[in-house]
Amino acid sequence: MTTPGNLLYAQSGGVTSVINITAAAVIETARRYPETIHKVYAGKDGILGVLNEELIDTSLESPEAIRAIRHTPSGAFGTCRYKLQDPDIQKTEFKRVVDVCERYDIRHVLYNGGGDSADTCLKLAQQLKVRMGNVTVNHIPKTVDNDLAITDCCPGFGSVAKYIATSTREASFDVASMARTSTKVFIIEVMGRHAGWIAAAGGLAADSTNSIPLIILFPEIPFERGRFIQRVSDMERANGYVSIVVSEGVRDENGVFLSDQGTRDAFGHAQLGGVASVVANMVKEDLGLKYHYAIADYLQRSARHIASKTDAEQAYAVGQAGVEYAVSGRSGFMPAIRRLSDEPYEWDIAAAELHKVANQEKMLPRDFISEDGFGITDQARRYLQPLIHGEDYPPYKDGLPQYVRLKNQLVQKQLPANWRDGDWTIWSWPLTKRASCWTSRSVLAAITTAIRCGWFLQTSSGSMAFCRVWNSVRPAIDPDVVG
């Protein structure tokens, strides 16, 4: 290499409580290679910041500020649920990314996200290679869903697992002490629409010294009301109470989400509330037992105050490795966490080829789920336990975790803003595919009208207007646009 170039870092998809540890690792490691990397630019709100030429100059942040984001949840530069257009159908967006990279002398890209962004990453590597030659593009793993291939686990998951296991244990102790005259069934709803990794972590709440009558409802196991109710009833009779961990992704025998029962209230509104309230209702109807339910929602993935130390260390390690791949000229990889032994837990980082990671989903193995489908096996425990090990407390001020915000100063724009002009694409396919996800009839109506008007085939301002509609409604329609 002659003169040093710049590195582009972008976060993608849902955030975690430790993704900023990865961001800090990227910036801190890059600063150790001034002969190769001049500046680290971060996309404001991820890849959208690249498309919109909103690049954050991280060189303006002090080492102290960068160190402080290590203990701050959320995405320090913003992130987005946005999947770039497929370059085989419509090159506009990829072309724009390449334009921006070229203008800002980007020689290294690190894309920090889940399975979908690994795919984007792969395509970006190809496009950039064609136009700019020697650019490295690597992916850094992140997802609370823990569903990336090759890597043993995903940064972000261990902390959610710790939070859910802790919360389930705490609430179960609470309920146990009051069950005689109060709540007999406690339900906690956890994330994981496709895979039951987080639900499985709830199983850690109970162990040999903390017996808790626990039922886990996995998305992998078709829900049967009769069997479930029987189990609740048996456990309640034997123990006086039951705790239930339910994954938001639980489906019935027909593959329909339990939380999407299509029921309407008196005004015709879709019944709101997550799967926890559906399960609670069954318990009440069939057994008449008093219940309470909690919905952890974003609390679980932002709970930096109880992050796993192991998770925090791995989040740093993958960020560091990503920069090292870049510096050594490696491209098309993802630093994967490799488990060397369960006990004592040992791990290292190994380079996984990106094409083996992209668009893969690692499901919870069947042998992690007990035969009856309501619990976890010892195998699952061996896998999960080390991931929640250790505490990584943030500093506190005035009784609250001291989270920080960066200056996030944007570079002066240099490129034309009207880059989408002339853009068009065939929207009908994805629209059809995603129609089943739509929940809001008014949005559906608006888009149907747009399609009927032929906007999706128009170029110039027509498609621009539709693009705006589409881009603003897309995440609302399909929360899994980017994992």
Residue 93 as a binder of its own copies (CB under 8 A): the answer is no
- Compare residues 78 and 192 and give the one whose CB is closer to its own copies: 78
Contact window for its own copies (CB under 8 A) among 162-170, 229-237, 320-328, 419-427: 162-170
**Pairwise CA distance, residues 64 & 220, whole Å:** 44
Closest separation in Å from C-beta 327 to its own copies? 28
State which of positions 44-63 bind its own copies (CB under 8 A).
Answer: 45, 48
Least Å distance, CB 78 to its own copies, is 5
Contacts to its own copies from residues 60-79, by CB under 8 A: 72-79
For the residues of 61-83, what is the DSSP string, one character each?
Answer: S-HHHHHHHTT--S-TT-----P
Find how far residue 4's CA is from the centre of its chain: 33
Binding mask 293-312 for its own copies (x = CB under 8 A): xxxxxxx-xxxxxx-x-x--
400 contacts its own copies (rule: CB under 8 A): yes
* 441 lies in the binding site for its own copies (CB under 8 A): no
> Does residue 454 touch its own copies according to CB under 8 A?
no
Burial of 258 (0-12, 13-18, 19+ CB in 10 A): buried
Place of tokens 């997550």: 274
- Does residue 82 bind its own copies (CB under 8 A)? yes
DSSP secondary structure letter of residue 98: H
Stretch of 118-126, 214-222, 399-407, 426-434 contacting its own copies, by CB under 8 A: 399-407
∠ CA 436-254-234 to the nearest 5 degrees? 130
- The per-type count for the chain, helices as H runs and strands as E runs, is 16, 13
Minimum CB separation of residue 88 from its own copies in Å reads 23
Q: Please say if 392 is a catalytic residue.
A: no
Rounded-to-integer distance, Cα 12 and Cα 406, Å: 18
By CB under 8 A, which span of 123-131, 351-359, 384-392, 419-427 interacts with its own copies? 384-392
Out of 96, 169, 251, 362, point to the residue binding its own copies (CB under 8 A). Answer: 169
Position 181 contacts its own copies (CB under 8 A): yes
For residues 137 and 128, the answer to whether their CB atoms sit within 8 Å is yes
Q: Whole-angstrom Cα distance, residue 233 to residue 289? A: 9
Distance CA 246, CA 374 (A): 10
Written as one string, the DSSP assignment of 344-361 is: TTEEEEEEEEHHHHTT--
Contact status: 475 vs its own copies (CB under 8 A): yes
Token pair of 189 as six digits: 């709803």
Query: 26: which 2 tokens?
Result: 């990227």
Is 363 a binding residue for its own copies by CB under 8 A? The answer is no
Q: How many CB atoms lie within 10 A of CB 49?
A: 25
Smallest separation, CB 193 to its own copies (Å)? 13
Out of 145, 147, 152, 311, the active site residue is: 145
Q: How many residues sit close enough to its own copies to count as binding (CB under 8 A)?
A: 98
What's the min distance (Å) between Cβ of 245 and its own copies? 13
Contacts to its own copies from residues 182-241, by CB under 8 A: 182-183, 186, 188, 204-205, 207, 210
**Residues marked as catalytic:** 145
